[in-house]
Amino acid sequence: MPLYPIDIEKRLKALQRQARYEAEGAPYVVYALLDPGEPGLQFAEGPFNGIPFYVGQSCEIERRLRRHFRKSQKLNPDSQMVHRHIAGLFAIGRLPRLAILETAQTRSQSLMAELRWGQSLMRDGYELANTSPDIGRIMGVEELTTWLDFRRSSMLASEAAREGVVIVHTCTCGHVNRWIDPADYAACWPKRLRVSKIANRTQQCPGCGEDCEWWLDDRELLASMPGPSYVNTCSSLALRRA
């Protein structure tokens, strides 16, 4: 039978307490949501006390869990597969369980761990409600690097500053490459400022006025490179508020 809202709220708070305890204050958490199965079903000893149906990562795990539960109670035509799956569990009287799979210190580590766990579970035969097709593909080093840069481009300036990620602008006309440090913006611009927005607002080449191509790299690596092939351009470049 369907669950009462109070039952759902109690489970949400219990999962939030579990996450808070098991994450031990780590900046990032990789987690799995589990289907408890039929009443009385016993699972073999291992990392899961249920059937994994979703793998995720977050720097705000308690808020993420609340979002999962809230969106599952208010489905719409654009609802994600994971929220439809949770809603299906609610409809038959099942409450999702949680497994904290791993903790990480940086966004990059967290993204890679999420991908690794997702691919591992799919190889083990679990059907995941993750919408990204990348979780089911085998990628070479170059493709994996491109995938990671794409995912990292949506991280906050504060996250990029924490792990030393910088934006590199490459001019297609051959002018000197520039690198922008998100740390220059993290302290004085809106909390939700993302790397992609900084890159888009600073990608005009000062030499020719054309828009540069941009990608992400490591601050310490670029700072140690000799010669003028890369120039550090700090926040003196105008970044207008949207």
Rounded mean pLDDT of 189-199?
83
Alpha-carbon distance 88 to 80, whole Å? 13
pLDDT at 76: 95
pLDDT number for residue 242: 42
pLDDT over threshold 60, residue 228: no
Residue 103 pLDDT more than 90? yes
Residue 32 one-letter amino acid = A
Tokens representing 171 are 């001019």
pLDDT at 190: 65
Cα 116 to its chain centre, rounded Å, is: 13
Q: Which residue has the tokens 């691919």?
A: 119
User: What pTM was computed for the model?
Assistant: 0.79
Reported as a single tens digit per residue, the pLDDT across 147-164 is 888 888 888 888 888 888
Mean pLDDT of 67-95: 95
Structure tokens at 37: 């199965």
Q: Is 179 a residue whose pLDDT tops 80?
A: yes
Reported confidence tier of residue 241, pLDDT bands at 50, 70, 90: very low
- The backbone torsions φ and ψ at residue 225, rounded to the nearest 5 degrees and listed phi first, read -75, 130
